[in-house]
Structure 1
Amino acid sequence: MDISPEFISIGGNRNPAAADWDPHGSRLLAFGADNCIALWDPLDDRLRGVRSILNGHTNVVNAVKFFPTGSSNVSVLLSGAADHSIRIWHGRRDSGTGFELVKTLHDHQSPITRIAALAGSDVFATGASDGTVKIWRLVHDADFSSIDAELLQSITLSPRYFPLTIALATLDESSIILAVAGTRSTIQIFVSHDTQFQLAATLTGHEGWIRALDFTRETSGESSDLLLASASQDKYLRLWRVHRGEELPAVSSALNDPALGILGKSLSNKAHRIASATSKYSITFEALLLGHEDWIYTASWRHKAGKLQLLSTSEDNSLAIWEADPASGVWVCTTRLGEISAQKGSTSATGSAGGFWIGLWSPDGSSVVSLGRTGSWRKWTYSTLEDMWAQQVAITGHVREVKGLCWSRDGTYLLSTGSDQTTRLFSQWKRDEVSSWHEFSRPQIHGYDLNCVDSITNLQFISGADEKLLRVFDEPKGVSEMLSRLCKIQATSAELPDAANIPVLGLSNKAIHSIGDDQAVENGEMDEREAVDPASIVRKSTLDFDHPPFEDHLARHLLWPETEKLYGHGYEISSVAVSNDGSLVATACRASSIDHAVIRLYDTKEWLELKPPLKAHSLTVTALEFSHDDKYLLSVGRDRQWVVWERNAETTYALKHSNPKGHTRMILDASWAPTEQPTFLTAGRDKNVKIWQIGEGEVQLKGAVSATAAVTAVACSRDILQGRLQFAFGTEHGEIGIGTASPGELDKVSVTMISAALSSAKTINEIAWRSGKVEPRRQIAVASDDSSVRIFNISEAR
């Protein structure tokens, strides 16, 4: 089997230190995504999204930093995680194999919080929540083919605090300056003497935790002053000047700015004196930058066309670009990107979009990217012709475990759902000769963790959550027209609502109307004195764009209206399946008794429950699936048994076969095979996939495949290809295998395992085969606990 990745979607970790853009070598952006590191090229014209994912850490990745190699071919990536380890990865641009792990450091005793590296030297620093900062030297040969790291110094911070941010800079030919700050309101400045750093000054002024520090030279000259930017949860940025010599620099006019009012009194300009082995220096307060309305997470410098600019990102949903006014020298915000605070998106039940956690300049300084609370990246590029920043397509992904996924009935799009309380729709943007995968709609933004999803028709799906009921959603006209325009998915002529929104304090998506841009908002039959809720209408132009939607659209305008709720279960919904003709829905919930471990059936015309529910299991039913002709319904559960129910009338099912000891441990998934004689597969915690066939009055075990870990997902392709049956299975450790067998020889299964580099880092929750009418190649979609959704191409090896 040839197995290659087609698409990877994964959301970024909400940690200001968890991303970096490589200015040399790979030119890729690396970001922490759950326990993994995702690699993405934001400047890729083909918009291929996440290129690859590096697995290795055993806990959440908190800090990612590219070591400045200065080489156009070699990249060295440093990553730190909550597993207390620092990992060093090596990548070559010409190898095409991506990055490989070359060294793991276990010197810290607590989660790593930050990594800083110094260009032009081999020094890097790491901070951890054990209250220490460690200074390292990267030991390598000229082309970085062998890499090691030696610990130079361990600094215990006093008074003790967590270092949330670290910055390094060259002070002069003999010394390095180190700035450290975090869960206190002061900044500690260390200066190196020989190889050891000593505390030289403590800068006061901020009134909250400090989240970001960044050094730069004021001009490109080596002898120019160093500037340090600090960003804090007190909503302010401060600039500090490191000046060489006994004399103090000219007093900053910012202190006398009347606009600062009472703040001016707290801006002390006390000079802090520090010294290296060869020179004396002063550190003075330079400027206070006002403008953000909430915590500030990142601050980073760039030199562009002789101008010095500072990029900051904040919890107030904005990025700001600051520069000094040439006439007065006062620092002002020249550009603000992001969302106006008043416009909250419905990204959570409360409607908070949650701010920007990371902001990065591209290596050439012409683009900026930012990561928000929903795990999605946003990207802006500066157009010199129009003299403005334009938003462009970036990448999105789940930020918690992905629990369920399914293809639409015709295979044109993929739905995924998970513990981040969202359901997302992915499809292919088809343009000229190029196509790329993107998130096109976020049909459901919920207040409960979502567990399962299935398509009823191409325009309707059902999902189950931790709330005891199931919800049915219909595609709105705005989404249908967008998918037709961008993905070449045929639009329907059915009567559809225009769009949907979540009312304030509500959990149900309500249908709303779109109106023309020049149309007045009318109150209808309401009291004229009552204002119209602006969220209950949407302008037609809002849904009319020629590119995949940006995060702001996904979070606000691309919900699907909810049409039905299905009640009956007493606990959290565990599984849902829709019959192949779309007329029935079977559901189950978490259970520890036979009364709750029932399967409930609903018809999709009237949405009424068909009584009585199906009783056989004594514990949670983990998976349900209808056979291809809907003659049978298969259920498996934590009670280790599988049950086959047979259709005995138009809509009712009765117990036909069961095996209370189908596996020696709980059964976690099951799937029907498209063979003439009814055949199904079951996957269990006993590390086996078993193949069963219904014969004359009995069910026989025809074959078994053993895995190295508990098998948590199994799925059979919907058709026999070249006389071979194909199925995919996934394990608790993230491994994925493709099995093939002849329908006549089910005891002889050949298995191809997907390589570890392409596999998931955590449990596989669901696998779904794409229906073959869409792609000439076979494709599977995989949902995993590492928060990724992956699509793989599968073809016969040549």
Structure 2
Amino acid sequence: MDIRNSFISIGGNRNPAAADWDTEGLKLLAFGAENGVALWDPSDKNFTGVKQILNGHTNVVNAVKFFPTGRDDVAVLLTGASDHTLRVWRGRTGVDTSFTSIKSISEHKAAVTRISTFPGSDTFVTGASDGTVKIWSLLHDSDFASIDVTLLQTINLSPKYFPLSIALAKLDDTSMILAVAGTRSTIQIYVSREAKFELAATLTGHEGWVRSLAFTRESSDETGDLLLASASQDKYIRLWRVHQGEELPAISNALNNPALGVLGKSLSNKAHRIESTAAKYSVTFEALLLGHEDWIYTAAWRFRNDKLQLLSTSEDNSLAIWESDPASGVWVCITRLGEISAQKGSTTATGSAGGFWIGLWSPDGNSVTSLGRTGSWRLWTYSPTDDMWKQQVAITGHVKEVTGLCWSRDGSYLLSTSSDQTTRLFSEWKRDGLSSWHEFSRPQIHGYDLNCIGAITDSQFISGADEKLLRVFDEPKGVAEILKKLCQIENTSTNLKDAANIPVLGLSNKAIETLADDAPVENDGEDEREAVDPASILRKSTLNFDHPPFEDHLARHLLWPETEKLYGHGYEISAVATSNDGTLVATACRASSIDHAVIRLYDTKEWLEVKPALKTHSLTVTALQFSPDDKHLLSVGRDRQWAIWERKEGAIYELALANPKGHSRMILDASWAPCSGVFLTAGRDKTVKIWQLSGKEAEVKATITAASPVTAVECNHSGSSEILTFAYGTENGEVGAGTTPVSALDQVQITKVDQEFAPSKTINQLAWRPGRSEGKQQLAVASDDSSVRVYEVNESKIPQA
């Protein structure tokens, strides 16, 4: 079997240092995604999305930095994580660009939080939560075939503060300058003398933690003054000038600006004297940049069109580009991207993006990208013809464990649900012979962690969360029109609601009507003095676009209205299954006694519970599945037993067969095979068992062993009728696909997904895409590493029995 990556969706880590866009080499953007490092090319016109996820770290990745190689055929990537390690990766250009891990270093005693490099030097610096800054040298040959790292020096900041930001630059031919700041309002300046950095000055003025530092030359030649930008939680950016010579630089006009009078006390222009082995320097305060309304996370320099510009990102949901006014020397914000804070509500669904955590320039300086709280990237590119920055299609993904997924009944789109409290809809954007995967809707933004999901029809799904009840959602007209236009998915349902929104402080998505662009907003509230909630108004033109929706639309306008709530369970929902004819839903919840470990059935017409509840399990039911003909319901649980329920009159199911010792440890998943009377179970005892019913008994036909507990198993129902195809996933992220002839179920052949392309954590659910032609199958995988993956499984190599 040939298994290839078709699509990966994963969200970025919320750490200002957890991403970098390579200006040389492969021009890729690398970002920390849970405990992996994702590689993405934002300038890719085919919108491939995430190309690869580098697995190796065992905890959250906090710092990502490309090492300047000066070559266009090789890239070196440095990453630091909460597992206390620093890793070095190397990538080369070729048909299949892939990165390999070269070295792992465990010198720090706590989470590595920052990495800083600068072009033309083999020195790089790391900062960590152990209160140390370490200076390293990267040893390599000219084509980076061999790479090694040596530690040069350790600077101890503890117990004074922890480093949150580091910047490194060349001072002159004999010395380097290092700026370090963090959980204090001061910035420390170190100068290297004979390969050792010594503290030379402490800059004061900020009134909050300093989150970002960046050096640049004022002009493009090497002799210009150095400028240091420092961005802080006090909502201000300060610029500092490092000037050579005994003479102080001319005082900046910015300090005489009467508008800054209120800040007079903190704008002292005290000169700090520092020395290298070759010359004397002064460090003076240059300018104060005002404009952000909340904490500032990043600041990054770039020369664009021979002008020096600074990009900053803030918790106020905006990205600002600053430039010095040639006449007055005052630094002004020339472009502001993102959202105007007056529009935002308190939650994501009412407009709050939760701030921008990372801001990066593209290698050519004509694009900027930013990461928000929801794990999604935003991308803007400058259009010279319109003289404005235009938003482009970027990538999105979950930021916590993906707990469940399912395909729509016809296989046209994929729904995933996660502990990040969102449900997301992915599908293929089809245009001009090209196709690429994107998130097209965010049906549910919730206040509880979501655990499971099932498709009832092509335009209706049900999800269960940590809140003891299940919610049913219907597709709105706005989403149906987008899917028809961009994905060629037809929706034949009538009576669709226009759109949905979440009322402030609410959990239920309410249906709303879209208004024509020129229609007045009417206040239908009882009190006319109350302002109309802007989140309850959606103009028709808002959802009219010819590209996959941007994060701004996903987070606010593409919810699905909720049509039903199902009550009855006493604890958090653990499993849900829908019958193949769409008339029944079976659900279960977390349980430690036989009274709570019941399976409840609901009919989907009246949404009433079908009594009595099914009772046999004594602990949490972990998985439920209806047989292809809906005559049987299979349930498995933590009590190590599986049970088969047979359909009697109407929708009543009764226990037909149970095996209290199906596995030697808890059973975590189960699946019916398309052939009659065959089902699979997967357990913590590291096995997958194939069972066949014969009369009132079931016997094990085959046992597949895995290296770690098997957490998911799923049979394919759209392949060959002679061959049983199934997939399983394990606790350590291994994914295997198996085939066996239906006539000889013990002749199992297993193909495993290469470790390089497999998730790095527990597999929670697998789903084969329905309606695929024989041979070319697709398998969706949900994992604890916060990724949703779709694999192409080519079955052409299966030998017939």
TM-score with structure 1 setting the length = 0.99
SS in 2 for 1:746: coil
Aligned to 1:53: 53
CA contact (8 A) 2:574 2:589 kept: yes
CA contact (8 A) 2:683 2:711 kept: yes
CA contact (8 A) 1:346 1:555 kept: no
What's the offset of the Cα at 1:25?
Answer: 1.1
Aligned to 2:207: 207
Distance in 2, matches of 1:470 and 1:72, equals: 53
SS in 2 for 1:790: strand
Matches within 5 A, 1:610-625: 610-625=610-625
CA contact (8 A) 2:667 2:682 kept: yes
SS in 1 for 2:552: helix
- Go from structure 1 to structure 2 and tell me whether the alpha carbon gap of 1:524 and 1:476 turns closer, same or farther (over 3 Å shift): same
CA contact (8 A) 1:346 1:445 kept: no
Distance in 2, matches of 1:266 and 1:755, equals: 57
Distance in 2, matches of 1:295 and 1:346, equals: 17
Aligned to 1:148: 148
Where in structure 1 are there 5+ consecutive unaligned residues? Answer: none
Aligned to 1:567: 567
Aligned to 2:276: 276
Q: Tell me if 1:633 matches 2:640.
A: no
- Go from structure 1 to structure 2 and tell me whether the alpha carbon gap of 1:494 and 1:119 turns closer, same or farther (over 3 Å shift): same
- Go from structure 1 to structure 2 and tell me whether the alpha carbon gap of 1:159 and 1:664 turns closer, same or farther (over 3 Å shift): closer
Distance in 2, matches of 1:348 and 1:370, equals: 17
Aligned to 1:657: 657
Aligned to 1:25: 25
SS in 1 for 2:76: strand
What's the offset of the Cα at 1:535?
Answer: 2.2
Q: Tell me if 1:8 matches 2:2.
A: no
Deviation string, structure 1 residues 426-478 (Cα, Å, up to 9, x no partner): 00000011110000000000000000000000110000000000000000000
Aligned to 2:308: 308
Deviation string, structure 1 residues 734-776 (Cα, Å, up to 9, x no partner): 0000000001111110000000000001000000000134797
Farther off after superposition, 645-654 or 491-500: 491-500
Q: Tell me if 1:784 matches 2:783.
A: yes
CA contact (8 A) 2:573 2:590 kept: yes
What's the offset of the Cα at 1:537?
Answer: 2.3
- Go from structure 1 to structure 2 and tell me whether the alpha carbon gap of 1:351 and 1:613 turns closer, same or farther (over 3 Å shift): farther
SS in 1 for 2:265: helix
Distance in 2, matches of 1:224 and 1:47, equals: 40
SS in 2 for 1:541: helix
Aligned to 2:399: 399
Distance in 2, matches of 1:153 and 1:199, equals: 13
Distance in 2, matches of 1:776 and 1:685, equals: 31
Q: Tell me if 1:717 matches 2:705.
A: no
What's the offset of the Cα at 1:359?
Answer: 0.2
> In structure 2, what residue type is equivalent to 1:206?
H
> In structure 2, what residue type is equivalent to 1:483?
L
What's the offset of the Cα at 1:162?
Answer: 0.9
Deviation string, structure 1 residues 717-745 (Cα, Å, up to 9, x no partner): 01342721100000000000000000111
Q: Tell me if 1:766 matches 2:794.
A: no
- Go from structure 1 to structure 2 and tell me whether the alpha carbon gap of 1:281 and 1:462 turns closer, same or farther (over 3 Å shift): same
CA contact (8 A) 1:349 1:505 kept: no
SS in 1 for 2:264: helix
What's the offset of the Cα at 1:521?
Answer: 1.6
Distance in 1, matches of 2:493 and 2:96, equals: 47
Deviation string, structure 1 residues 187-238 (Cα, Å, up to 9, x no partner): 0000001110000000000000000000000001111000000000000000
> In structure 1, what residue type is equivalent to 2:691?
W
Distance in 2, matches of 1:229 and 1:163, equals: 16
> In structure 2, what residue type is equivalent to 1:653?
Y
Distance in 2, matches of 1:491 and 1:750, equals: 39
> In structure 2, what residue type is equivalent to 1:765?
N
CA contact (8 A) 2:401 2:784 kept: yes
Aligned to 1:744: 743
Matches within 5 A, 1:538-553: 538-553=538-553
Distance in 2, matches of 1:235 and 1:684, equals: 52
What's the offset of the Cα at 1:578?
Answer: 0.3
> In structure 2, what residue type is equivalent to 1:585?
V
Matches within 5 A, 1:35-50: 35-50=35-50
Aligned to 1:667: 667
> In structure 2, what residue type is equivalent to 1:475?
E
What's the offset of the Cα at 1:530?
Answer: 4.3
Aligned to 2:475: 475
Distance in 2, matches of 1:345 and 1:667, equals: 44
CA contact (8 A) 1:415 1:424 kept: yes
Matches within 5 A, 1:226-265: 226-265=226-265
- Go from structure 1 to structure 2 and tell me whether the alpha carbon gap of 1:270 and 1:523 turns closer, same or farther (over 3 Å shift): closer
TM-score with structure 2 setting the length = 0.98
What's the offset of the Cα at 1:693?
Answer: 0.8
Q: Tell me if 1:289 matches 2:295.
A: no
CA contact (8 A) 2:90 2:101 kept: yes
What's the offset of the Cα at 1:350?
Answer: 8.0
- Go from structure 1 to structure 2 and tell me whether the alpha carbon gap of 1:664 and 1:307 turns closer, same or farther (over 3 Å shift): same
User: Kindly, what percent of the aligned residue pairs are identical?
Assistant: 72
Matches within 5 A, 1:438-457: 438-457=438-457
Deviation string, structure 1 residues 669-711 (Cα, Å, up to 9, x no partner): 0000001x31000000000000011112211111110000000
Aligned to 1:112: 112
> In structure 2, what residue type is equivalent to 1:141?
D
Moved over 6 A (4+): none
Deviation string, structure 1 residues 604-624 (Cα, Å, up to 9, x no partner): 000000111000000000000
SS in 2 for 1:771: coil
SS in 2 for 1:606: coil
> In structure 1, what residue type is equivalent to 2:771?
G
Aligned to 1:733: 732
Distance in 2, matches of 1:70 and 1:347, equals: 44
Aligned residues: 797
Distance in 1, matches of 2:498 and 2:771, equals: 31
What's the offset of the Cα at 1:353?
Answer: 2.1
Distance in 2, matches of 1:472 and 1:389, equals: 40
Q: RMSD of the alignment, in Å?
A: 1.3
CA contact (8 A) 1:230 1:238 kept: yes
Distance in 1, matches of 2:2 and 2:385, equals: 46
Aligned to 1:223: 223
What's the offset of the Cα at 1:525?
Answer: 7.6
